[in-house]
A and B are shown apart, each in its own frame.
Chain A
Amino acid sequence: MSTNVGTMGEHQNIERRTLIKGAAWAAPVVAVAAAAPMAAASGTFAFTDVYSGSGLSGTLIGAALEFSTFFGGDVTEGMFTVTADGISYPIELFWAWPTTEGFEWAVTFETATEVASKTAVILTATIPGYGSNSIPVVFA
Chain B
Amino acid sequence: MAAASESFSFSYAGILENYEGGTYIGVILDFSSTTLPTLDLSMFTLTVNGSPVPVVSFNSGDYGMTQLTAEFITAAPVGPGAIMLYGTIPGFGSNSTSVPRA
Check if B59 sits within 8 Å of A56, measured CB to CB.
no
Check if B69 sits within 8 Å of A106, measured CB to CB.
no
Bound Cα distance A56, B19 (Å): 14
| Distance (whole angstroms) from the CB of B100 to the closest CB of chain A | 14
Residue of A nearest to B58 (CB): A95
Q: How large is the interface on A (under 10, 10 to 19, 20 to 34, 35 or more residues)?
A: 10 to 19
Residue of A nearest to B28 (CB): A56
Check if A64 sits within 8 Å of B59, measured CB to CB.
no
Task: Collect the chain A residues with CB atoms within 8 Å of residue B71's CB.
Answer: 55-56, 93, 110
Q: In this assembly, does B14 line the interface, its C-beta being within 8 Å of a C-beta of chain A?
A: yes
| Distance (whole angstroms) from the CB of B3 to the closest CB of chain A | 27
Check if B63 sits within 8 Å of A56, measured CB to CB.
yes
Check if A64 sits within 8 Å of B24, measured CB to CB.
no
| Distance (whole angstroms) from the CB of A77 to the closest CB of chain B | 12
Interface string of A39-63 (1 = CB under 8 A from B): 0000000000101011111001010
| Distance (whole angstroms) from the CB of B19 to the closest CB of chain A | 5
Which residue, of B20, B24, B69, has the highest number of chain A Cβ atoms within 10 A? Answer: B20
Interface string of A16-58 (1 = CB under 8 A from B): 0000000000000000000000000000000001010111110
Check if A56 sits within 8 Å of B26, measured CB to CB.
yes
